[in-house]
Amino acid sequence: MKSLKMKKEFKVIAELLPNNTRVLDVGCGDGSLMNFLKEEKNIEVRGLELNQENVQQCIHKGLPVIQGNAETELHQFPNQSFDYVVLSQTLQAFYNPEEVLKNLLRIGKAVVISIPNFGYWKVRMKLLLFGEMPVTKTLPNTWYNTPNLHMCTIKDLFKFCYEKNINIKQVIGVNEDKTSLIKKSNLEIKNLFSKLGIFLIG
Amino acid sequence: MPSLAGLFFWMNRKIETINKITITKPLKLDCGKTIKNFPLAYETYGKLNENKDNAILVFHALTGDQFVTGTNPITNKEGWWVTAVGPGKAIDTDKYFVICANVIGGCMGSLGPKDTNPENNQPYGLDFPVITIKDMVKAQESLLEHLGIKKLLCATGGSMGGMQLLQFCATFPDKAFSAIPIACSSSHSAQNIALNELARQAIMADPVWDNGKYVSKNVQPKNGLAVARMVGHISYLSEKGMQEKFGRKLQEKADYEFSFNADFQVESYLRHQGYAFVERFDANSILYITRAMDYFDLSKQYKGGLVEAFKNQDTKFLVISFSSDWLYTTKENKDIVIALNASGADVSYSEIVTDRGHDSFLLNEPEFLKTLKGFIDSMYEKFKNEKRI
């Protein structure tokens, strides 16, 4: 494999996606994940991105991207038109994450979601010991300028999937360069020590 | 100032000198009539490379012509898309071979209503057949054949040019590697038909128009045509853009004149645009071309609607709209994207935020031009690689 510089989270997501599939990257940013999937895994990629500059970067890289807001514009993608839909660290920023998730599951045969874990011990400590809203590397914003409206923990998303009858295929916890499989049996401990949770559902 | 008749004579003489081909193959028009042995005027910029993989076809808008960039030899003014096309520009003529043809129904050398009807040796006038966007596009496909281009690197166009492009992609799905429809629509809206009707009624209300027979008298219904152009110019701007550009500023005067002269700058602007236009355009051409736009409804041509129109597309699309464009709105452009998505086509979309309205695609809009350049350059790399394989 070419050594494309990419953050650990994207490497984990990329490993979850089989070669030669069709993938929609919702909130695709500057297209670095899409580029990797396309070049290394022969995946047919499409992106949805709100930011003009990011859209331009994708277009410069020759990556198909649609400028738009996932909150309001997922309706344009037909049912089950992608093998996978990827949503990286934005679920918590939507007004209505439940509706967005429903749409993702409608569009993709399976969905990969990553969330910054509000259950991570440093986050919990910050609130418990200092009585302040946590600011960490994964959650760099302060309470008044954070885009995150619906923070949740890995455990919350687990519970949500059970309640809504959404099939969980695999959950991976990420802490810096380390990854681990999360199951019902180790959920409590992994919820404490994972900075990110990556869910494969649907 | 030369007389209008003199000007026409002089323009017609100059038009004799522009590039054109004669299309001998009969073209069956949507209206049922057939035309053959007709002229199609075109212009090219840059050089076609040996592999013939650097050709870009530009479709012009309602009042455009084949003179995309450089100096228009007929009007001696800059080409209409000089901001985007030229050496070192977004569509770089040092690198790409740019082709543009005058639409049939137009008045810049391609067959149009001011030409002579071989049946009676009189100018066609209203005897000219009603043409459609599809007819225009079919004629231009013959030009590609003539130039020996099997597959274009890219085809693009704004406004009616974008409509031609959508039709081109639907009718000839394997002719363009990539396509950039800009500020257009897949079917003309009620509002746009209404504005076109306003333009037509202005022309037809001018007594000089005389049921389109003015051509043989070497005159032009310039008052009507100027009003038609003013309607257009209002629709090309946005409310905010117009307010910022003109506001209530007066035209070279300190106070109201208490008359109906052009007191306001915006009035003066419209009058200038209107009357400058009559010197380069034919009133009947406006009737025919606006009609073609009104009849355009790509979804009507296919049983399964717009999605069906784009089935089996290998073409890679980039749709671009402008936030303040109320003539061809973001919504209409997004509908194209939705249909392309639903048909599984490779589509990108960008909405450029600007106050400059529909006109934006002709102006120096850096974000727009950057997007255009990025897409075309990346498509060229892909196209070259694909051809090698």
Report yes or no: A110 and A200 within 8 Å, Cβ to Cβ: yes
Is position B111 within any domain?
A: yes
Report yes or no: A168 and A201 within 8 Å, Cβ to Cβ: yes
Separation in Å, CA of B5 to nearest CA in chain A: 50
Q: Are strands A22-26 and A82-88 parallel, antiparallel or unpaired?
A: parallel
Compare CB distances from B348 to A65, A73, A77 and report the shortest one's residue. A65
Is position B343 within any domain?
A: yes
How many CB contacts within 8 angstroms connect chain A with chain B? 58
Q: From its phi and psi, is residue A17 left (phi > 0), alpha (psi between -120 and 50) or beta?
A: beta
Chain A interface mutation, best of B306, B323, B341, B380, highest count of A Cβ atoms under 10 Å:
B341
Tokens found for residue A33? 């994940």
Domain total of chain B: 1
Task: Quote the percentage of chain A above a pLDDT of 70.
Answer: 98
Is position B230 within any domain?
A: no
Report yes or no: B189 and B332 within 8 Å, Cβ to Cβ: yes
Digits of tens for pLDDT over chain B (389 positions)?
A: 445 555 565 566 666 779 999 999 999 999 999 999 999 999 999 999 999 999 999 999 999 999 999 999 999 999 999 999 999 999 999 999 999 999 999 999 999 999 999 999 999 999 999 999 999 999 999 999 999 999 999 999 999 999 999 999 999 999 999 999 999 999 999 999 999 999 999 999 999 999 999 999 999 999 999 999 999 999 999 999 999 999 999 999 999 999 999 999 999 999 999 999 999 999 999 999 999 999 999 999 999 899 999 998 899 999 999 999 999 999 999 999 999 999 989 999 999 999 999 999 999 999 999 999 999 999 999 999 887 76
Q: In angstroms, rounded to a whole number, what is the distance separating the alpha carbons of residues B370 and A59?
A: 10
CATH classification of the domain holding B111: 3.40.50.1820
Within an 8 Å CB–CB cutoff, is residue B331 touching chain A? no
pTM of the model: 0.93
Chain B interface mutation, best of A25, A50, A67, highest count of B Cβ atoms under 10 Å:
A67
**Chain A contacts of B338, Cβ < 8 Å?**
76
CATH classification of the domain holding A182: 3.40.50.150
Instruction: Count CB atoms within 10 A of the CB of residue B242.
Output: 18
Residue for token pair 């008298």: B217
Q: Taking the mean position of all CA atoms in its chain, how far away is CA A110?
A: 13
Within an 8 Å CB–CB cutoff, is residue B374 touching chain A? yes
Q: In angstroms, rounded to a whole number, what is the distance separating the alpha carbons of residues B19 and B380?
A: 27
Please classify residue A175 by burial: count the beta carbons closer than 10 Å to its beta carbon, then call 0-12 exposed, 13-18 middle and 19+ buried: middle
DSSP 3-state of B79 = coil
Report yes or no: B66 and B41 within 8 Å, Cβ to Cβ: yes
pLDDT digits (tens, 9 = 90+) for A20-55: 999 999 999 999 999 999 999 999 999 999 999 999
Is position A159 within any domain?
A: yes
User: With b meaning 16 or more CB within 10 Å and e meaning fewer, what string describes B216-238?
Assistant: eeeebbbbbbbbbbbbbbbbbbb
Separation in Å, CA of B380 to nearest CA in chain A: 10
Q: How many helices (H) and strands (E) does chain A have?
A: 8, 8
Domain total of chain A: 1
Which structural domain, as residue segments, surrounds residue B123? 4-188+297-388
Positions of E strands within B124-175: 152-158
Which structural domain, as residue segments, surrounds residue A102? 8-117+148-201
Q: Taking the mean position of all CA atoms in its chain, how far away is CA B102?
A: 9
Q: Identify the pLDDT of residue B106.
A: 97
Which regions of chain A are under pLDDT 70? 1-5
Is position A122 within any domain?
A: no
Longest dimension (CA), chain A: 49
Minimal-distance CA residue of chain B relative to A55: B350
Q: Taking the mean position of all CA atoms in its chain, how far away is CA B340?
A: 22
Is position B288 within any domain?
A: no
Q: Identify the pLDDT of residue A137.
A: 87
Is position B72 within any domain?
A: yes
